[in-house]
Amino acid sequence: MKKRLFYMLFVPSLSMILFFLIYPLLLTTFPTFFEGNSLTLVRYLDFFMDDYFQRIFVRTLKISLMAAVVCAILGIPVAYFISKSSQKVRGLLIACTVFPLLTTLVGVMENIEPELMEAVESLGANRIKAFFKVILKSLEKLYLHRLIHIKCLIDRLLIFG
Domain residue extents for the chain: 1-49, 51-84, 85-161
State mean pLDDT over 72-76: 86
pLDDT at 161 over 70: no
CA distance 93 to 99: 10
State mean pLDDT over 44-50: 89
Helix pair 42-49, 51-83: axis angle to 10 deg: 90
CA distance 129 to 120: 9
Beta bridge partners of 23: none
pTM of this prediction exceeds 0.75? no
Tens-digit pLDDT profile for residues 108-134: 777 778 888 888 888 888 888 888 878
Among the residue ranges 1-5, 19-23, 94-98, 99-103, the one predicted with the least confidence is 99-103
Q: Cα separations (Å) of 6 from 20, 21, 35?
A: 21, 22, 43
